[in-house]
């Protein structure tokens, strides 16, 4: 028996499309749907709360339900696309997704609302892994870098354009368009795939030997961990039995998945895929990148909304000129560079830009306006475009594209998991640092504080010397102290973002050279010998 299937999972092969432009367009739209829907839901959650009269706890669980099922299905999508072909997986998914998105704003029953969001998230989890599979199954090698650039483009674009869309929907179209945008976009994806995606036969051999247990174990374990992380900050982590049970159960199921992949005859995604040095360090770099980018994604809108009091539409101009427009230039520049230089240099440039942006943001003061964040947003957009794109290219280059089913299973799980881990831990850090700074700022203040009485007397001249005026003056002092504590806490998040980027730079130093292959910068100039096998990672 050959050891390759046990080590790397099922072989991935497909029919090259004769309509690459249509496929690339479908990939572009599918990638954007995932990024926009996730970001738009997060930013627009206050409007959804108001529309459905949800309390804080209900809205928190709705957010979890609307995102967690993505990771349940995403790891198995690559295998499903290998067995059934991209057409059978993607076309029904996009059409059903459009129908659910149309119905959700019309629903008023609570249980049905949660159920539809769970189904919608499950379908949304199909899009990105299927995108990766289309690149390697149905696109010619010369289009691989373009396809991967589209996959990478969604990260900076969706994070920033999401605010613009929410601002437009809130002020002009209505909150329903948080969902109805997909009623227009996803049928277009289906049409492009119907025309451009090649017809493929079902791989019955893989279907008969399916590792259903492995797929269920990984999907369920990651989902439990995701839910535990998502609710951890709100329920105070291990002081909550729910969070403790979810995290412990998810960890146990993951151990079961690793054991299952080691003993079954036809493993679906053996752990050896991520055990080589280059691939392991590459995944660790993605985690460091995610922590760094999440720091800016939390701090900038958090400060402008909670401290300055701006609505999403007022922040839109910052993201349009600092991210949405420049990101296309940065991605095209990254494509040009990756055709000529080692991917590690692009990762180095990206993480350096992110570290400089975070260092700039750590100087945050209460006087900052949106324009002050422009250099930070520009540096982070450049860094995200270079670092994430180049890291994905590096990971794929260090694996056999014929085994991309197993690689795709891990890359999306690690991406989604690291995002949730980063946001959960950073939000917890933000809350704790805000409490710390609040205690430091208000500690010296007491009822006999002379400076406090002087300030209150000045404020009472504005509000009046009545009891109500005194309470208003005291409220202003408390609000100012809270605002300053928030500013310092957001500055601390920028410092963590800087440290994460520096950690990523240290990981780049541990990366080995890319093996020669279709994504190597010298591939066009020096073709491999005919019939040569793709190089594997050391």
Q: Which of 507, 223, 460 is nearest to 344 (CA)?
A: 507
Report the pLDDT value the prediction gives residue 448, as an integer from 0 to 100: 54
Beta strands in 413-498 (DSSP E): none
Report the pLDDT value the prediction gives residue 536, as an integer from 0 to 100: 46
Q: Phi-psi category of 368—alpha, beta or left, where left has phi over 0 and alpha has psi -120 to 50? A: beta
Segment 509-527, tens digit of pLDDT: 998 888 777 777 766 666 5
Report the pLDDT value the prediction gives residue 81, as an integer from 0 to 100: 78
Tokens of 132: 């990766």
Q: How confident is the model at residue 155 (pLDDT cuts 50, 70, 90)?
A: confident
Q: Is the pLDDT of residue 196 over 70?
A: yes
Report the pLDDT value the prediction gives residue 162, as an integer from 0 to 100: 73
Provide the percentage of residues in the chain whose pLDDT is more than 70. Answer: 82
Rounded CA separation 411/421 (Å):
15
Q: How confident is the model at residue 491 (pLDDT cuts 50, 70, 90)?
A: very high
Topology of the domain comprising 15-195: Growth Hormone; Chain: A; (1.20.1250)
Report the pLDDT value the prediction gives residue 534, as an integer from 0 to 100: 47
Q: Does the CA dihedral 230-315-389-81 come out positive or negative?
A: positive
Q: Is the pLDDT of residue 293 over 70?
A: yes
Topology of the domain comprising 268-442+453-521: Growth Hormone; Chain: A; (1.20.1250)
Rounded CA separation 418/409 (Å):
14
Q: Does the CA dihedral 127-128-131-136 come out positive or negative?
A: negative
Report the pLDDT value the prediction gives residue 4, as an integer from 0 to 100: 40
The counts of H helices and E strands in the chain are 19, 0
Rounded CA separation 241/68 (Å):
19
Average model confidence (pLDDT) across the chain: 80
Tokens 């804080």 map to which residue?
A: 56
pLDDT greater at residue 72 or residue 130? 72
């Amino acid at each position: 028996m050959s050891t390759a299937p046990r080590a790397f999972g099922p072989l991935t092969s497909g029919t090259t499309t004769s309509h690459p432009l249509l496929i690339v367009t479908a990939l572009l739209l599918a990638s954007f749907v995932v990024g926009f829907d996730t970001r738009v839901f997060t930013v627009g959650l206050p409007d959804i709360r108001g529309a459905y009269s949800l309390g804080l706890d209900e809205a928190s669980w709705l957010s979890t339900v609307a995102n967690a099922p993505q990771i349940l299905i995403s790891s198995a999508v690559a295998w499903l696309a290998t067995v059934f072909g991209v057409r059978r997986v993607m076309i029904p998914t996009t059409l059903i997704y459009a129908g659910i998105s149309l119905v959700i704003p019309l629903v008023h029953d609570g249980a049905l609302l949660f159920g539809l969001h769970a189904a919608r998230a499950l379908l949304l989890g199909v899009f990105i892994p299927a995108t990766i599979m289309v690149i390697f199954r149905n696109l010619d090698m010369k289009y691989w870098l373009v396809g991967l650039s589209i996959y990478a483009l969604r990260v900076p674009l969706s994070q920033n354009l999401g605010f613009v869309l929410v601002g437009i929907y809130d002020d002009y179209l209505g909150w329903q368009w948080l969902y109805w945008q997909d009623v227009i976009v996803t049928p277009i994806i289906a049409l492009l795939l119907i025309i451009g995606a090649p017809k493929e036969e079902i791989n019955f051999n893989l279907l008969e030997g399916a590792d259903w247990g492995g797929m269920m174990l990984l999907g369920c374990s990651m989902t439990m961990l995701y839910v535990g992380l998502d609710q951890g900050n709100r329920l105070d982590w291990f002081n909550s039995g729910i969070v403790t049970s979810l995290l412990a159960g998810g960890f146990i199921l993951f151990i079961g998945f690793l054991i299952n992949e080691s003993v079954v005859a036809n493993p679906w995604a053996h752990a050896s895929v991520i055990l080589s040095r280059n691939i392991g360090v590459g995944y660790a770099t993605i985690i460091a990148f995610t922590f760094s980018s999440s720091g800016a994604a939390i701090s900038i809108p958090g400060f402008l909304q909670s401290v300055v009091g701006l609505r999403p539409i007022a922040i839109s101009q910052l993201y349009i000129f600092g991210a949405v427009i420049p990101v296309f230039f940065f991605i095209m520049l990254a494509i040009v560079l990756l055709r000529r230089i080692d991917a590690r240099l692009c990762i180095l440039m990206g993480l350096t830009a992110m570290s400089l942006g975070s260092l700039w943001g750590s100087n945050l003061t209460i006087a900052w306006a949106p324009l002050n964040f422009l250099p930070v947003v520009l540096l982070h957009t450049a860094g995200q475009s270079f670092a994430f794109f180049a890291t994905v290219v590096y990971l794929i280059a260090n694996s056999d594209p014929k085994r991309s089913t197993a690689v795709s299973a891990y890359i999306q799980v690690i991406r989604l998991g690291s995002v949730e881990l980063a946001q959960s831990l950073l939000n917890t850090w933000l809350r704790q640092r805000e409490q710390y700074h609040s205690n430091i700022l208000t500690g010296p203040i007491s009822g006999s504080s002379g400076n406090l009485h002087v300030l209150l007397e000045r404020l009472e001249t504005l509000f009046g010397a009545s009891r109500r005026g005194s309470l208003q003056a005291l409220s202003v002092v408390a609000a100012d102290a809270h605002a300053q504590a928030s500013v310092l806490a957001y500055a601390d998040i920028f410092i963590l973002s800087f440290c994460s980027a520096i950690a990523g730079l240290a990981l780049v130093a541990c990366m080995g050279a890319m093996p020669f292959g279709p994504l190597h910068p010298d591939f066009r100039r020096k073709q491999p010998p005919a019939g040569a096998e793709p190089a594997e990672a050391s």
